[in-house]
Structure 1
Amino acid sequence: MAVAVRRITEFYDWIEDVADDRVEDWLLMATPWPAMAFIITYLLFVWLGPKFMKNREPYNLKSTLLVYNFMLVILSIYMFKEFLITSLLGNYSYRCQTVDYSTSPLAMRMTRVCWWFFFSKVIELLDTVFFILRKKDNQVTFLHVYHHSSMVVNWWLGVKYVAGGQAFFIGMLNSFVHVVMYSYYALSAIGPHMQKYLWWKRYMTQLQLVQFFGFLFHTGYNMTVECGFPTGFNIAVFLYCFSMVVLFSNFYIKSYKQKGKKYKE
């Protein structure tokens, strides 16, 4: 038992030693426990929320959803712009880019937008909260919960150890997709009369799938070359994106292909 405790302590000391000192004092970054507290609270709400709402009327959150979704559109536009401009100014390679751990203005600018991207994933946990409070439990699927909770963990690790480098490509492309996605949610929240303008929902799901295929091929390529970006992170990203391709493909088939076939029949 004592040996196991010592090894765990040594491992914890090691991961602290290799962490990025630049983000040590930033919000939620000193230790993993605050981020884990968010995840645990989130999962508890996913479990207990529907029980709480079982005999209650769904909340009318129209105004809240409008403000929330439009704010996320603005934040996503900001992050996309920062990832794009900083990578261009820094002459980043779109094939494979190592992390700049310096405190130069461009390196810190990239680190800051990576932190904002992580923090946006914490904010987006509210997606699920709003679904449950509105009794839209059919939206709270395994894919939804897995994606929202895992992204907080993934990007806490990303900011803590590899804030920048080729990780910028994931943040940039995902921010663009979220501009489209939260624009759709904001328009949908206006009211039922907007549905006739939201015929492009299917294409939004296709865009999400293309995004994950893009990450898969991008990371897969980076695993075959040497550019200084940690191999362990590349492997983790590749496996995660593979899981998302499988889950999103399954969602797409069930939502559009199978429903369309039943409709024709």
Structure 2
Amino acid sequence: MSHCSANHILSNFNDMSIKQISNNFLEELKFDEEIDSWPLMKTPWPILSILAVYWLFVVKVGPKWMEKRKPFNLKYIMMIYNLSQLLFNGYMLWRVYKPDVINSLWKHRCSLDEEDHSEKRFVYITANEIVWLYIMNKISDLLDTVFFVLRKKESHVTFLHLFHHMDMSFSMWIYLRIIKDQFIVLLGSINMIVHMIMYSYYFLASLGPKMQKYLWWKIYLTRLQIAQFVFVIIYLGSLYTVDCSFPKIFTIYMITHIALFLYMFIIFYKKTYQKTKSE
């Protein structure tokens, strides 16, 4: 076989692969007038504007503005914020695990039953309502970084921190705008549990130095976050291997992102806790 023929075959193969992937992706897209009319969902500009303002403030404007100012005392604001985030995640978790919701979600975790239109619509709308609430929660999570800047804790504003917050907000927006499936809600509930524990820790820490002796379990919180990523990757990978009618292109996207989070969290864990042990 000539060199030109081999290149031609390879080129055709690549074209077919790209075309197949594009076709599969287009088949997975879902649009719903009701859901697409919800706040922030019609176009990407609102969420992108929020993330752009967030990035500019925490990276450029905020640190420059605080340069010659004393750190703000945000103790009580942070107590309220952490408690509200704890309750917010608790409310979403309650929505997921209401008996009628969790039973339907589990029944249709792999696909929606076309024969029962009323239950199908109930699962579909309820799941996506929870995802919308989840997006609002990810947006409110951005205040965490704003507080770091106002308290002059710029060392906490790491690439991992910024990437995690911004990526989760926009990825979930993409999911709700063009994917709209029910399978991700059960996975999201795991993240809600982790965040309830995390904001419980932050709330206790915001009470002041007298609480530090009771916060020895911070290392286990980070381990729990890492374990969460491992579980989600395994679960998504198992779904990919079975005959489910869930969006497989988006699932690959999610596995890639979560694997990146896992890698960065492991690096953070090693730098933070192994360094502490060696000192």
Q: Give the alignment's TM-score, normalised by structure 2.
A: 0.83
3-state SS of 1:92 partner: helix
- Tell me whether 1:62 sits opposite 2:75 in the alignment: yes
Q: How far off its partner does 1:108 sit? A: 2.1
Equivalent of 2:64 in 48, 51, 55: 51
Aligned residue-pair number: 247
- Which blocks of at least 5 consecutive residues in structure 2 are unaligned? 1-25
**Pairwise mapping of residues 245-256 of structure 1 onto structure 2 (< 5 A)?**
245-256=262-273
Equivalent of 1:40 in 35, 52, 55: 52
**Pairwise mapping of residues 8-23 of structure 1 onto structure 2 (< 5 A)?**
18-23=30-35
2: CA distance, partners of 1:154 / 1:241: 11
**Pairwise mapping of residues 185-224 of structure 1 onto structure 2 (< 5 A)?**
185-224=202-241
Equivalent of 1:135 in 135, 145, 152: 152
1: CA distance, partners of 2:80 / 2:181: 30
Opposite residue 88 of structure 1, the aligned amino acid is: I
Q: Which residue of 1 aligns with 2:104?
A: 90
Q: Alignment identity in percent?
A: 35
3-state SS of 1:193 partner: helix
**Pairwise mapping of residues 149-168 of structure 1 onto structure 2 (< 5 A)?**
149-168=166-185
1:83, 1:171 within 8 Å by CA — same for their partners in 2?
A: no
Q: How far off its partner does 1:50 sit? A: 1.1
Q: Give the alignment's TM-score, normalised by structure 1.
A: 0.87
Q: How far off its partner does 1:184 sit? A: 0.6
Q: Which residue of 1 aligns with 2:90?
A: 77
Q: How far off its partner does 1:112 sit? A: 1.1
2: CA distance, partners of 1:18 / 1:109: 16
2: CA distance, partners of 1:167 / 1:100: 17
Q: In structure 2, do the counterparts of structure 1 residues 55 and 108 end up closer, same or farther at CA, with 3 Å as the change threshold? A: same
1: CA distance, partners of 2:142 / 2:105: 34
1: CA distance, partners of 2:170 / 2:53: 14
Q: Which residue of 2 aligns with 1:112?
A: 129
- Which blocks of at least 5 consecutive residues in structure 1 are unaligned? 1-13
Opposite residue 71 of structure 1, the aligned amino acid is: S
Opposite residue 75 of structure 1, the aligned amino acid is: F
Q: After superposition, give the CA deviation of every residue in 1:9-51 in whole Å (9 maximum; x if it has no partner).
A: xxxxx89x84233312111011111000011111111222112
Structure 1 or 2, whichever has the larger Rg, is 2
Q: Which residue of 2 aligns with 1:9?
A: none
Please say which of residues 100-109 and 130-139 is displaced more in the overlay. Answer: 100-109
Q: How far off its partner does 1:84 sit? A: 2.8
Q: In structure 2, do the counterparts of structure 1 residues 116 and 91 end up closer, same or farther at CA, with 3 Å as the change threshold? A: closer
2: CA distance, partners of 1:163 / 1:68: 30
2:101, 2:126 within 8 Å by CA — same for their partners in 1?
A: no
Q: Which residue of 2 aligns with 1:4?
A: none
2:222, 2:269 within 8 Å by CA — same for their partners in 1?
A: yes
**Pairwise mapping of residues 239-250 of structure 1 onto structure 2 (< 5 A)?**
239-250=256-267
Opposite residue 141 of structure 2, the aligned amino acid is: E
Opposite residue 53 of structure 2, the aligned amino acid is: T
Q: Which residue of 1 aligns with 2:3?
A: none
Q: After superposition, give the CA deviation of every residue in 1:66-95 in whole Å (9 maximum; x if it has no partner).
A: 11100000011111122233552205259x
Q: Which residue of 2 aligns with 1:6?
A: none
Q: How far off its partner does 1:251 sit? A: 0.3
